[in-house]
Structure 1
Amino acid sequence: MQMTKSAKIGLLFALLAFTFLPVLAGGQWIKIFISTGCFILAASGVAFMYARLGMVSLGQVALMGIGGWVMLRMNHAFDLPFEINLAVAGAVTLVFGWLLAMPALKMRGLYLALITLMAAGGLEVIFSTYRFPNGGEGFWGVMPSVAAPFRRPLVATDDADYLRYIIFAIVVGFLIIELHMRAAPGRAWAMIRRSEAAAYASGVNVVYYKAWAFGLAGFLAGTSGGLLAGGLGLLDPATFRASESIMLFALMVVGGSRGWLGVVIAGVLYRVVPALFNDWTIDADIALVIFGAALLHAIITAPNGLSGQLIDLFGKVGKRT
């Protein structure tokens, strides 16, 4: 399989981040970059659904919460390796992605967005009511005292190595999406986006491939939620509010949905920009104003997002030189 120029640049970017970011970042910033990486991986799922199928899913952060819940419960209940717990978290969330797809398979646009948003709202209530496992007994695994320790991968016990682990996971997630794009699912999704009627007429199983897309997005969300649980050791229900799914989708539109760069921009805007404002003792809510202006800019002048504008800019500079 021939690698595109964009993929080569992405791998170089990932290699540089893998090598230097854990060294340059210190203290709390490593935690922030760990969180950023997890949301980049989650955003990749909602981005490919929007770019390849034209489907707006507003439940991705809530699905992250499911993956994080399963990861914490597995960690505290069983003495299993981190990777097995992470695979279970991704698989369970994949199933939830399929369940979320069932009432939405015949819908597009506003109605699909509303259904996924309502599901995210329901999960928000569950997370707020029952909270996340912290080593307690019973199904919910919640205890009022200090949380039990979380077991990280043997190769990534400290924060710096765990950040490298996250970067590797992002590359694998992007590779999974790219492999889908170049195989039968990618061709089917492209035809469905162009015309569902034409896809039916061509023998494409539209329901099957839509469910496949929801399952893949759910798997990526669950994996990112599990990785976030490993990075923080304990999760807060406020992280998985329905409004956060809307915010992540909006920033994905700002960054651009058709490549790895747009998803990275979305994750950085979502996590790093508010953290910078806090670090500068500026009210982080100002970031919402900036995000709103950026979204307006993207809708009016940048259909491919900021990443598309950056690629066009570098392309023009390259031609001049």
Structure 2
Amino acid sequence: MKKIYDITIIGAGPVGLYTAFFAHIRNAKVKIIESLEEVGGQPKHLYGEKMIFDIPAYPSINGNNLTQKLLDQVNLFEKDLSLGEEVLDLSPNEDGIYIIKTNKDSYYSKTVIIAAGNGAFQPRKLEIDNANHFENHSLHYIVKKPENFKHQRVAVCGGGDSAVDWALTLEPIAEEVYLIHRRENFRALESSVSKLHASTVKVLTPYKILELAGKEHQIESLKLQQVKSKELEELELDQLIVNYGFSNSLGHIKDWGLKLSRNQIEVSSLMETNLPGVFAVGDIADYPGKVKIIAAGFGEALLAVNQALHFIDPNYRPSPLHSSTIFEGEFND
């Protein structure tokens, strides 16, 4: 007979991992399914070395270390984790138990919490004729090792948090850092923009890239155009980082009968979707007043787990939780 889980979590990014940890604290039988071969989601796979500034108690922490800390929490319990499995279908049987079909197996669960982040993601590329000639050499969409930019002249393109954060991260490493944005104002957090203007990063706004020039796979210069005046400028550099965001796809999730809005799942204030016993947390969840940061997703995880257990047993009332005594005696610090 197949094992029936209390809660199955789809997605093992930061919010999915924390959801699993809290569900274990509530003594639920938990299953985690992740389509990638490693946990950690976008912070691990796309921003492993990028500093993150919105995690409580950490002034800054990079994606790799955040993932490891969250995994350490989950590892306090015996976890049931399937990696490299994409969920293809989600549907209840006649008893109301959800059958979760993946590309490798089928699982049974009383409730489901979707923590799939932004779904499948691909970087939005620089639309210049010869850009693909320099990709993965001197044109980068993902930065894995900041030390590779040591003593280099680097230009970062974009106006969001990622672009501003990478410019600031590389400032003490690279020889020169330029930040190019096609608009005058940035979309990044106000505090990050203030740090940017106080830094040595050379800000070029509003400019757009017209041409890339170089030999073999090495960029040597950019031709820029001032958006308003149309004046042209040439910028000599060694490396180009493009942070234009990512195009996301919900994949099979859009076929599960969930109420969607702009590639997100609509949920109630208790993280409930329109499907009974199915909840959504993190970036994939949408509700009025949504704040799309990891810390907000952690709070959503607590609500979803408690509501999932209440769905299983309407008489369930969560006992007062004193986290300082959960593992009393196991740690000395």
TM-score, normalized by length of structure 1? 0.28
Q: Which has the higher strand share?
A: 2
The structure having more radius of gyration, on CA atoms, is 2
